[in-house]
Chains A and B, each alone.
Chain A
Amino acid sequence: MPLSDENLVLRFQAGDQDAFEELFLRYRDKAYALALRMLRHPDMAADVVQETFLRLCKGLRRFRGEASFSTYLYRVVSNLCMDEIRRRQRGQQVSMSVSGEEGGRQREIAGGLSDPEEELVRKEYARRVEEALGRLPEDYRLAVVLRDVHGLSYEEMAAVMQCPLGTVKSRLSRARGMLRDILTEMELLPPGHVKTGEGRETR
C-alpha cells in the first residue's frame, strides 16, 4: 500500500530525504507535461521542473497542508511558467519550438502495441492538437490543460490559478470555445456548425 502524498510530505518534514525523492518520482512527469504544454520548449520545461522541486524542497518545510500537495505543485509550476512566458514576451526572445518536432526526445508513456501505421496517424493527430493548444492564450491554455489533461476539479483549478471559481468556469468555457474554433480551422473538427460569435445565434 503506497503512502499518500500528505504522508510523504510529513515524512520529508521530519527529515526523510527519500520521501522527497518519492514525491519527485510521482510528480515529475505531471510537472513536466504541464510545463511543456505551457512553454512548448523541452529544455525550459525541464528547467521549470527543477526549479519547482527546488522550491518545494524549501517551501515544504512550512507547508501545513492547507491545500493538497498536487495543487501546491501545480501552482508552483504554473506560476513559474507564467513568469517565464512574461519574461519572454518582455524580452521578445522567441525560441519556441513545437513540442511535436522534438517528439523523439519525449517519452510517450502510453505507448500502445498498435501497428506502426496507426501509431503514426495517431502521433500526427496528437501533434496537431498540441499545435492547436499552443495557439491558445496562456491563461486559456492553462485552464484547458489543467482540466482536460490533468483532470483537476474546478476548486483545484481555482487554487492553482489563484482566482475565484466563477473566473475558472468562464475562462474554461471561453478557452474551450476558442479551441473548438481553432480545431475547426485546422480541419480537425468537422465544419458546418455556426461559430459562437456574440448575437449571431438564433434565439
Chain B
Amino acid sequence: MTCDRARELLSGYLDGELDPAERQELERHLAECPGCSEELKALRKTVDLVRALPRVGMPAAAADKVRDRLRNELRGRNVLRKLSGWWAGARLASRAAVAVVVVLLVAVGFGTVYSLIAQPKMEVAGEPAGIEEMRLRQTGAEPAGKGDEAVPQQASPSASVFPDARRRPVTGYSTLFEQKIIKTAELELEVDPARIDEAQRQVVALVEGAGGFVQDFSTWTGEDRKEISVVLRVPAERFGDLLARLEELGTTKFKRVSGQDVTGEYVDVEARLRALRQQEERLLQILTMVKTVDEVLKVEMELGRIRQEIEMWTGRLRMLDNLVELSTIRLKLIAALPGPLTEGSDLLRRLWQAFLATVRYLGRLGVRLLVFLAGALPVIILVVAAWGGYRYWRRR
C-alpha cells in the first residue's frame, strides 16, 4: 500500500468505517511506516480537539423568541382546526363551484365543437363524404362558377358525385388508416297536417329498423303550423338509404348533407395517447427509483398531470368514434295548420295583436330570466362562499 492510499483511508479508519480487508492492509502499512502512523496520531488529535468542543446551546432569549413564534404558528393552525368544519364546508363549496364552472365550460366547449362538426361543410368537395347523397345539392345554389378542376364541385343531379374524388384526397393514408368520416344531414319535410303524427311514428320505425335511435325529440305548435324536430343517430352504413326513405314521407323543403373527414385528427389523437402512455410508464419507473419525499411528490404531480391528459384525449377519441359510427340526421316535419291569424283584416285589431304579441314575448322573456336566475342561484352562492373562504384564508 502506498502512503497516498493509506492517508486516504486514515479518516475512515478513525471512524471504524473501513471494511476488514482495507483495515488489515492499512494496519500492516502503519506498522512499518512511521510517517503514516505519525499522521494518524495528528488526525486523531484533530478529531479529538473538535470532539472536545464545549456543547453550544441556543441563548435562552433567542430560543424563547423562536418558541413564541412557533406557538403563534401552531395556534394559527389550531384555530384553523377548530374552524375545520366550517372550513371544510367552504373548501368543499369552492371545489364544487370550480367543478360547476368546469362542467359548464366543458359543456360549452363540447357544444361548440359539436356544432362545428355538425355544421354542414358545403365546400368539402374533396372529401368523400357526400357519396350518393351529394346529388341533393340540387336544392342548394349551383356552384357553377367553380370550374376549377382541383375542386370538382359537380351539381348535376344524376351524376354520382366525383367517383374519383372519393379516392383522390386520401390516397396518401387511406391504405394505412381506416378513414374516419362524420356524416351529418339536415332535412326539412312538409307533411300533411292530418298525417303528421303518423309520419312521426314512421320515422321512429324506420330509424329503429335501421339499428339507430332517436337522440332528441321536440314538438312545437304555433298558431299556423306544427313542427316536430328529431335528431336521429343511425349507423353510418345505413345513412344514405335511410335518408332516401325519410324523404318519401313528405315534400322536401330543405336538405343538406355533409361529411367531415376526421381521419387526420383521429390519427393525431391516437399518436398523442401512445406518447402519453409511454411517458406514464416511464414516470412509474422513475417513481420506483426516487428516494426523497420531494422527488416522489414531484414525480407524482407530473404523473397526475399526464393521466389527466390521457383521460382527456381518450374522451375525445371516444367522442370521435361515436360521431363516426353513428351518423346524425336532423329531421324536421312541418305541417301547416289552417291558421286563424290570416283573417284579421281590421288594422286596429292587427295592431293590437302585434302589441299583445310583444307584451307576451316580453313576459316570457322576463319569466325566462327569472328561471335562469333561479337556476344560477346555487352557483352564485357557491362562488360567493368560495370567494369568502378564499378571502378568509388570505387574511389569515
Chain A contact residues, CB within 8 Å of chain B: 15, 17, 20-21, 24, 28-29, 31-33, 36-37, 42-43, 46, 49-50, 53-54, 57, 62-64, 66, 99, 105-110, 122-123, 126, 129-130, 133, 144-145, 147-149, 154, 169-170, 172-173, 176-177, 179-180, 183-184, 188-190, 193-194, 196, 198-199, 201-203
The answer, among B35, B50, B54, B293, for a CB contact under 8 Å with A133, is B50
Q: Is the CB of B53 within 8 A of A177?
A: no
**Residues on A with beta carbons closer than 8 Å to the beta carbon of B51:** 148-149
**Complex Cα spacing A64 to B291, Å:** 12
Q: Closest Cβ of chain B: how far from A110's Cβ, in Å?
A: 5
Interfacial chain A residues near B46, Cβ < 8 Å: 176, 179-180, 183, 189
Q: Which of B36-64 contact A (CB under 8 A)?
A: 36, 38-39, 41-43, 45-47, 49-60, 62-63
Complex: A28 Cα to B59 Cα, angstroms? 10
B48 to chain A, nearest CB (A): 9
Indicate whether A28 sits within 8 Å of B53 (C-beta atoms), given known contacts A107-B60, A176-B47.
no
Task: State the CA gap A43–B62 with chains docked (Å).
Answer: 8
The 6 lowest CB-CB distance pairs between A and B, nearest first, are A173-B11, A32-B58, A46-B62, A201-B3, A107-B57, A148-B50
B146 at the A/B interface (Cβ < 8 Å)? no
Known: A33-B56, A57-B70, A106-B59. 6 other contacts (CB 8 A): A28-B63, A46-B66, A63-B293, A149-B53, A189-B46, A198-B4
Contact B42 A184 (CB under 8 A): yes
- Minimum CB–CB distance from A15 to chain B (whole Å) comes to 6
**Residue B69 interfacial (CB < 8 Å):** yes
Q: Complex: how many Å from CA A106 to CA B67?
A: 17
| Chain A positions within 8 Å of B33 at CB level | 202
- B39, B54, B291: the one contacting A110 at CB < 8 Å is B54
Nearest residue (CB) in B for A62 is B293
CB-defined A-B contacts under 8 Å, sample of 10:
A17-B74, A21-B74, A29-B56, A33-B57, A63-B293, A110-B55, A144-B50, A177-B43, A189-B45, A193-B41
Name the interface residues of B1-36: CB closer than 8 Å to any CB of A: 2-4, 7-12, 14-15, 17, 33, 35-36
Across the interface, B15 reaches (CB within 8 A) one of A54, A105, A154, A203, namely A154
Which residues of B line the A interface, CB within 8 A? Answer: 2-4, 7-12, 14-15, 17, 33, 35-36, 38-39, 41-43, 45-47, 49-60, 62-63, 65-67, 69-71, 73-75, 77-78, 81, 291-293, 297
Taking CB atoms, residues of chain A closer than 8 Å to B60 are: 107
* Chain A residues within 8 Å of B69, by CB: 50, 54
User: Contact at B293–A180, with CB atoms within 8 Å?
Assistant: no
Instruction: Point out the residues of chain B lying under 8 angstroms from A202, CB to CB.
Output: 3, 33, 35
Residues of B within 8 A of A43 (CB): 62
Question: CB within 8 A of B57: which of A66, A99, A106, A176?
Answer: A106
Q: Please give, as numbers and ranges, the residues of chain A lying within 8 Å of B35 by CB-CB distance.
A: 193-194, 201-202
The 8 Å CB contact of A203, one of B3, B45, B53, B65, is B3
Report how far A196 CA is from B36 CA in the complex, Å: 10
Q: Which residue of chain B has its CB nearest to the CB of A178? A: B46
State which of B14, B43, B55, B75 has its C-beta within 8 Å of the C-beta of A109: B55
CB pair A196–B39 under 8 Å, yes or no, is yes
B11 adjacent to A172 (CB under 8 Å) = yes
A148 to B45, CA, bound (A): 12
CB-contact partner of A154 in B17, B36, B45, B53, under 8 A: B17
B15 CB contacts on chain A under 8 angstroms: 147, 154, 172
B43's partner among A62, A107, A169, A176 (CB-CB below 8 A) is A176
Residues from chain B with Cβ under 8 Å of A173 in the complex: 7-12
Bound complex: CA A144 to CA B71 (Å): 33
Known A57-B70, A63-B293, A66-B291; judge A126-B54 contact (CB<8 A).
yes
Q: Give the chain B neighbours of A29 by CB distance below 8 A.
A: 55-58
Contact between A201 and B54, CB atoms less than 8 A apart: no
Q: Which residue of A lies closest to B76 (CB)?
A: A57
A126–B53 CB distance below 8 A: yes
* Bound CA span A81–B43, Å: 27
Q: When the two chains form the complex, which single residue of A21, A31, A64 contacts B70, counting CB atoms closer than 8 Å?
A: A21
Chain B residues within 8 Å of A145, by CB: 50
In the complex, A126→B50 CA distance in Å?
A: 9
How many angstroms between the C-alpha atoms of A179 and B46 in the bound complex? 7
B56 close to A193 (CB less than 8 A): no
Contact present for A189 and B42 (CB under 8 Å):
yes
Q: Which of A46, A123, A193 contacts B39 (CB 8 A)?
A: A193
Q: Which residues of B contact A32 (CB under 8 A)?
A: 56-58, 62-63
> A66 CB to closest chain B CB, in angstroms?
6
Q: Take A28-B66, A129-B50 as given contacts and tell me if A176 and B56 are in contact as well, using a CB distance cutoff of 8 Å.
A: no
Q: How far is the CB of B313 from chain A (nearest CB, A)?
A: 31
Tell me, rounded to whole Å, the shortest Cβ–Cβ distance linking B287 to chain A: 14
Bound Cα distance A107, B62 (Å): 11
Distance of A42 Cα from B61 Cα, bound (Å): 12
Partner of A108, one of B11, B12, B36, B56: B56
- Tell me which residues across on chain B come within 8 A of A169, comparing CB atoms: 11-12, 17
- Give the chain A neighbours of B7 by CB distance below 8 A: 173, 177, 196, 201
A154 to chain B: closest CB distance in Å?
6
Check A106 against B8 for contact (C-beta < 8 Å): no
Contact yes or no, A42 B50, CB < 8 A: no
> Is A15 touching B293 in the complex (CB atoms < 8 A)?
no
B39 touching A108 by the CB < 8 A rule?
no
Contacts of B55 in A (CB 8 A): 29, 33, 108-110
